């Protein structure tokens, strides 16, 4: 058994005109035989996708949360909770948030939530995560001594009765109650993976340091990067470090003096030497043009083959040549949100944003991803963004010379990530893992409108259908 044949299928990474029978045996591609049947199916087989930057823990947590929009009013918030009530077992914690200040002003007290259920604890947090609203059930679960110690953070009415609102310190007060979340995390993890499979994804580079023991047996390949001290890690472990902030919050480390950096150049060099000494694999967040120049330069000096830069959002002309043979994980889908930011903050240097083509020309090793849950891990959208570069405001091509081909974008979502992770997947080739995705369009040559409407019909992981 274990054998399967996908017959008479077009494999655009091999040929646009011929079709093939793909023989799968024991999870591998055993044979690729040119099909003699001239009426080939109008379906297209590609290597399944990899996401080079994803937060698996955060993403999984969002599945069990009820998320609100900042402009949801009380009615809307209540409706969203009501709709989800049936998904919870009796006693299970209902956790969610994202409501704005406005909501809190309208929102009187725990009674509003008590009307929804007295069986389940409900905890909701504000958008800035500084205020929490609890129902009576949740309030009753808080440790008594804790309550005494932190009483000034627990709001009370004029009769000295708790209103259900907690300011600050909620993390501490609720530690015990929020432990519940870990249970739902384990329950939701397979759900998270199957959502990734539905996007055609079968391999990820995780930035949340997930314990890969708990992901074993799930249909996905994972390499992970930990947010720990170099001393706490084992040789070859990935380590996630942050050099600067973000463009939108003006904390990206820029050549013109703007922004912040968590380390100066000397400190950074010391830290990287430590990574080298412990034989670690650093993945370093760098957004600003200075952060990227300094980092790429140090990588050249002391870096190793498997080191990588995350985001590389702005790169100056003078720094491009430092990127030869350097792994960079970029997120093309973010281009759409970042073009307006670049126009506002990069003062005439907008061309430094997401330099896909220039980086490729300078022989950087490009890997694409999503930064999910910041954005949905939609590879098709990413390929569109990188190969079309359409400004969402003007609807015109933005920085034409940084456009890359569909194939180059696809490679950054497949074979380049696989090579970095040491996986036997990422291309449709004899002997490789049968990690494949079946699409209704040839994404390498369809129109850009067709590209955006492409459907994932089926995802294979080691020859098994994991999404249909
Ligand atoms: Zn991230």
pLDDT tens across 325-380, in order? Answer: 999 999 999 998 888 888 888 888 889 999 999 999 999 999 999 999 888 999 99
Question: How many percent of the chain have pLDDT more than 70?
Answer: 97
Q: Give the whole-angstrom CA distance, residue 49 versus residue 348.
A: 35
pLDDT band, residue 288 (cuts 50/70/90)? very high
Ligand 1: distance of its center to the CA of 187 in Å? 23
What's the 245 CA to ligand 1 centre distance in angstroms? 11
Residue 97, pLDDT above cutoff 90:
no
Instruction: Identify whether the C-beta of residue 209 lies closer than 8 Å to the C-beta of residue 225.
Output: yes
DSSP tag of 426: S
48-77 residue pLDDT tens: 999 999 999 889 988 888 888 877 888 888
| Band of residue 107 on the pLDDT scale cut at 50, 70, 90 | low
Q: Is the pLDDT of residue 108 over 70?
A: no
CA of 242 to the centre of ligand 1 (A): 10
Looking at residue 101, what is its pLDDT?
67
| CB distance 386 to 371 below 8 Å | no
Tokens of 236: 């070859």
User: What does the mean pLDDT of the chain come to?
Assistant: 90
Task: Give the Å distance between the CA of 371 and the centre of ligand 1.
Answer: 5
Confidence at 271, pLDDT banded by 50, 70, 90? very high
Residue 90 C-alpha to ligand 1 middle, in angstroms? 35
pLDDT value of residue 26: 94
Average pLDDT over residues 245-251: 81
On the question of pLDDT at 299 being above 90, the answer is yes
Distance from Cα 441 to the centre of ligand 1, integer Å: 30
CA 53–ligand 1 middle distance (angstroms): 6
User: Rounded to whole angstroms, how far apart are CA atoms 63 and 311?
Assistant: 25
- Centre of ligand 1 to C-alpha 331, Å, is 10
Looking at 13-126, list the stretches that DSSP marks H as alpha helix, in order from N- to C-terminal side.
56-64, 74-84, 101-106, 110-114
Neighbours of 411 (CB within 10 A): 23
How far apart, in whole angstroms, are the C-alpha atoms of residue 10 and residue 110? Answer: 59
The answer to whether the Cα torsion of 374, 437, 223, 421 is positive or negative is: negative
Q: What is the number of other CB atoms lying within 10 angstroms of the CB of residue 6?
A: 21
CA 349 to centroid of ligand 1, rounded, Å? 24
Q: Quote the ligand 1 centre to 310 CA distance (angstroms).
A: 8
Is residue 339 within 8 Å of 398, Cβ to Cβ?
A: yes
> 1 pLDDT exceeds 70?
no
Contact between 336 and 353 under an 8 Å Cβ cutoff? The reply is: no
Cα dihedral sign, 362-365-369-371: negative
Q: Distance from the CA of 246 to the center of ligand 1, in angstroms?
A: 11
What domains does the chain contain, in order, with CATH numbers? Answer: 71-126+131-167 (3.10.310), 184-426 (3.20.20.140)
pLDDT digits (tens, 9 = 90+) for 134-182: 999 999 999 889 888 888 889 998 999 999 988 777 767 887 777 777 7
Q: Which of 384, 402, 392, 401 is nearest to 450 (CA)?
A: 384
Burial bucket for residue 422 (CB in 10 Å: 0-12, 13-18, 19+): exposed
Tokens representing residue 248 in the block: 């939108």
d(CA 110, CA 140): 12
Model pLDDT, residue 450: 95
Q: What is the pLDDT of residues 212-228, one digit of tens each?
A: 889 999 999 999 999 98
Distance in Å, CA 232 to ligand 1 centroid: 21
Cα(289) to centroid of ligand 1, in Å? 18
Quote the ligand 1 centre to 207 CA distance (angstroms). 6
Residue 314 pLDDT grade (very low, low, confident, very high; cuts 50, 70, 90): very high
User: What's the 59 CA to ligand 1 centre distance in angstroms?
Assistant: 11
From residue 309, alpha-carbon distances to 57, 128, 298, 337 in Å are 21, 29, 11, 21
Q: How far is the CA of 448 from the centre of ligand 1 (A)?
A: 28
């Amino acid at each position: 058994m274990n054998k399967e044949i996908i017959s008479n299928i077009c494999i655009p990474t091999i040929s646009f005109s011929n079709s093939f029978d793909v023989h799968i045996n024991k999870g591998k591609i055993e044979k690729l035989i040119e099909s003699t049947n001239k009426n080939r199916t109008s379906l297209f087989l590609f290597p399944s996708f990899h996401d080079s930057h994803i937060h698996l823990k955060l993403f999984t947590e969002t599945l069990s949360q009820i998320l609100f929009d900042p402009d949801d009013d009380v009615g809307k918030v209540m409706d969203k909770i009501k709709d989800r009530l049936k998904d919870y077992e009796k006693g299970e914690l209902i956790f969610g948030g994202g409501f704005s200040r406005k909501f809190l002003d309208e929102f009187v007290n725990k009674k509003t939530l008590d009307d929804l259920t007295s069986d389940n604890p409900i905890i909701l947090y504000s958008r800035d995560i500084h205020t929490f609203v609890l129902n009576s059930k949740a309030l009753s679960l808080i440790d008594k001594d804790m309550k005494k110690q932190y009483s000034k953070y627990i709001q009370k009415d004029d009769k000295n009765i708790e209103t259900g609102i907690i300011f600050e310190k909620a993390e501490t007060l609720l530690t015990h109650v929020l432990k519940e979340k870990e249970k739902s995390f384990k329950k939701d993890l397979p759900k998270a993976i199957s959502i990734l499979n539905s996007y055609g994804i079968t391999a990820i580079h995780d930035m949340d340091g997930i314990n890969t023991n708990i992901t074993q047996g799930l249909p996905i390949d994972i390499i992970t990067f930990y947010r720990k001290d170099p001393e706490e890690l084992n040789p070859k472990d990935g380590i996630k470090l942050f050099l600067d902030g973000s463009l939108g919050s003006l904390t990206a480390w820029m050549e013109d003096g703007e922004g912040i950096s968590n380390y100066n150049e000397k400190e950074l060099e010391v830290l990287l030497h430590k990574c080298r000494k412990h034989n670690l694999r650093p993945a370093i967040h760098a957004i600003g043009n200075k952060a990227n120049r300094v980092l790429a330069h140090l990588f050249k000096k002391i870096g190793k083959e498997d080191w990588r830069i995350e985001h590389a959002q702005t790169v100056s002309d003078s720094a491009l040549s430092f990127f030869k043979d350097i792994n960079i994980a970029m997120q093309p889908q973010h281009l759409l949100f970042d073009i307006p930011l670049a126009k506002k903050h990069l003062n005439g240097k907008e061309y430094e944003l997401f330099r896909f083509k220039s980086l490729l020309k300078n022989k950087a090793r490009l890997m694409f991803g999503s930064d999910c849950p910041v954005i949905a891990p939609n590879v098709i959208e990413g390929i569109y963004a990188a190969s079309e570069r359409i400004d969402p405001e003007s609807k015109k091509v933005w920085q034409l010379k940084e456009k890359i081909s569909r194939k180059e974008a696809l490679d950054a979502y497949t074979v380049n990530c696989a090579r970095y992770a040491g996986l036997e997947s990422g291309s449709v080739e004899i002997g490789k893992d049968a990690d494949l995705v079946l699409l209704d369009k040839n994404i390498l040559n369809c129109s850009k409108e067709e590209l955006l409407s492409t459907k994932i019909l089926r995802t294979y992981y080691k020859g098994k259908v994991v999404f249909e």
